[in-house]
Amino acid sequence: MTPPLELSAAAHSYLLAFADDEHMMGSRHANWIGLGPFLEEDLAFCSIAQDELGHALALYEMLVPANEIDRFALLRAPADYRSCALAELECATWDLALVRHWIYDLAEGLRWEALVQSSVEGLAELAVQAEREESFHRSHAQMYMERVVQDEEGRRRVDAALAEIAPHIGTVFAPPEFENDALEEGVASESFADLALRWFNMFEPQAAEFGLTLPALSLESSLDVRCTRTPGFADFHASLGEVISLDVQANW
Amino acid sequence: MRTYEVFLKKAGKEEFRHAGSLQAPDAEMARLLARDAYSRRGEGSEMWLVDRIHIIEGDKQLLAATADVSHRANDGSAVAARRKRLRNDA
């Protein structure tokens, strides 16, 4: 059993927010297994889901002992999760899932970049490796988007999905508790407020290139956002814990 | 959607081998999607993608054996049988 790292409270909450976001994104993406628009896309999207779950696992390993990860990841009380609404959201249509993938992965890459010189042991290496995977995710989202917006109906549907997701976009930039301390300790090199600005500077020209209508966005977010669960979380959480709850003590 | 034939080559002296086929809207997407479909675990270090429309199909009429010409097929079994007989006779 590998003991988790000795982390400061600030580092702990910083990593927890990221780990929970990745866990929720990976699990929500995985809901599309077998339902993707065509086989090759199904494989690519589920591979992205697995990458996100892999990132979540790598981060959880820094937070809790190896034999407690499953229970920690799946059976915490909903109030103890620190994921953002953008990651928790159920995207019940492919339009929404695609747009969220584009938006979230644009932000995720920036989050890893802010960790490539982290003072937390092993985190810099993880960030470099994860960012390599993210560059594939971004290419995937961008190429896919470029193609679906080429006809009128595609662009209209992406526009509608973007408008529906827009109110939640800012939540991914909600800072974790003790963000200032985390920045001082060198856990991360950039504040979430700065990441949000950089994200917007990447998002806006891409949205323009796709011919999309820019929705009203509020990118300022507070910690409360990470302490509140979205409607629908309870069902999702219950479904994630369904198997482990059959026998919580089992050694998988 | 177009269909692409995927060929993979491992590092070293191995030749390219047909891995399977892939559907994608165009060549750029095919390159992106082929990785997850055929080389997620490093199955190949090089990949060729060939749009199926560029494949020249051989003529089935010419390929079919026209008559029994088994006398021209030498798989060595006749020689092996003869040598075995000679060995046993000796």
Establish if B32 touches chain A: CB-CB under 8 angstroms: yes
Q: Please report whether residue B32 resides in a domain.
A: yes
Average pLDDT over residues B11-30: 93
Average pLDDT over residues A168-177: 95
Q: Quick check: A219 pLDDT over 90? A: no
Q: Please report whether residue B12 resides in a domain.
A: yes
> In this predicted structure, which of A233-237, B20-24, B66-70 has the lowest mean pLDDT?
B66-70
Establish if B27 touches chain A: CB-CB under 8 angstroms: no
Confirm if B36 and A40 have CB atoms less than 8 A apart. yes
CA of A143, closest CA in chain B: separation in Å? Answer: 7
Q: How many separate domains does chain B show?
A: 1
Q: Please report whether residue A3 resides in a domain.
A: no
Q: Please report whether residue B7 resides in a domain.
A: yes
CA of A44, closest CA in chain B: separation in Å? Answer: 5
Q: Collect all residues of chain A within an 8 Å Cβ-Cβ radius of residue B40.
A: 47
Nearest CA in chain A to B28: A143
Q: Please report whether residue B72 resides in a domain.
A: no
3-class state of residue B48 by DSSP: strand
Q: Please report whether residue B83 resides in a domain.
A: no
3-class state of residue B25 by DSSP: coil
**CA B50 – CA B3 distance, rounded (Å):** 8
pLDDT score at A252: 67
Q: Quick check: A224 pLDDT over 90? A: no
Q: Please report whether residue A2 resides in a domain.
A: no
Which among A4, A31, A34 is positioned nearest to A19, based on CA atoms? A4
Q: Are strands B17-24 and B2-9 parallel, antiparallel or unpaired?
A: antiparallel
Indicate yes or no: CB of A44 within 8 angstroms of CB of B36.
yes
CA of B57, closest CA in chain A: separation in Å? Answer: 25
Selecting from B25, B37, B40 the residue whose C-beta is nearest the C-beta of A147 gives: B25
Confirm if A87 and A101 have CB atoms less than 8 A apart. no
CATH for A113: 1.20.1260.10
pLDDT score at B31: 94
Q: Please report whether residue A32 resides in a domain.
A: yes
Q: Please report whether residue B66 resides in a domain.
A: no
Q: Please report whether residue A251 resides in a domain.
A: no
Q: Please report whether residue B17 resides in a domain.
A: yes
Give the model confidence (pLDDT) of A132-152 as tens digits.
999 999 999 999 999 999 999
Q: Please report whether residue B89 resides in a domain.
A: no
Give the model confidence (pLDDT) of A14-52 as tens digits.
999 999 999 999 999 999 999 988 999 999 999 999 999
Neighbours of A12 (CB within 10 A): 21
Q: Quick check: A216 pLDDT over 60? A: yes
Average pLDDT over residues A168-186: 96
Q: How many separate domains does chain A show?
A: 1
**CA A123 – CA A111 distance, rounded (Å):** 12
Q: Quick check: B67 pLDDT over 70? A: no
Share of chain B above pLDDT 70, in %: 96
pLDDT score at A1: 42
pLDDT score at A2: 55
Establish if A39 touches chain B: CB-CB under 8 angstroms: yes
Indicate yes or no: CB of B24 within 8 angstroms of CB of A43.
no
**CA A238 – CA A241 distance, rounded (Å):** 5
Q: Collect all residues of chain B within an 8 Å Cβ-Cβ radius of residue A143.
A: 28-29, 32
**CA A60 – CA A237 distance, rounded (Å):** 17
Which among A185, A65, A59 is positioned nearest to A123, based on CA atoms? A59
Establish if B37 touches chain A: CB-CB under 8 angstroms: yes
Best residue in B21, B36, B41, B43 for a mutation probing chain A (most A CBs within 10 Å) = B36
- Side-chain half-sphere of A67: how many Cα atoms within 13 Å? 6
User: With bands split at pLDDT 50, 70 and 90, how would you rate the model's confidence at A190?
Assistant: very high
Q: Between vectors from CA B30 to CA B26 and to CA B33, what angle results, nearest 5°?
A: 140
CA of A188, closest CA in chain B: separation in Å? Answer: 31
Q: Please report whether residue A34 resides in a domain.
A: yes
What are residue B46's phi and psi, to 5 degrees? Answer: -135, 150
The chain-wide mean pLDDT, for chain A, equals: 94
Q: A49 versus B76: which is more confidently predicted? A: A49
Give me the domain span that covers residue B24.
1-43
Confirm if A59 and A22 have CB atoms less than 8 A apart. yes
Give the model confidence (pLDDT) of A127-137 as tens digits.
999 999 999 99
Give me the domain span that covers residue A189.
9-246
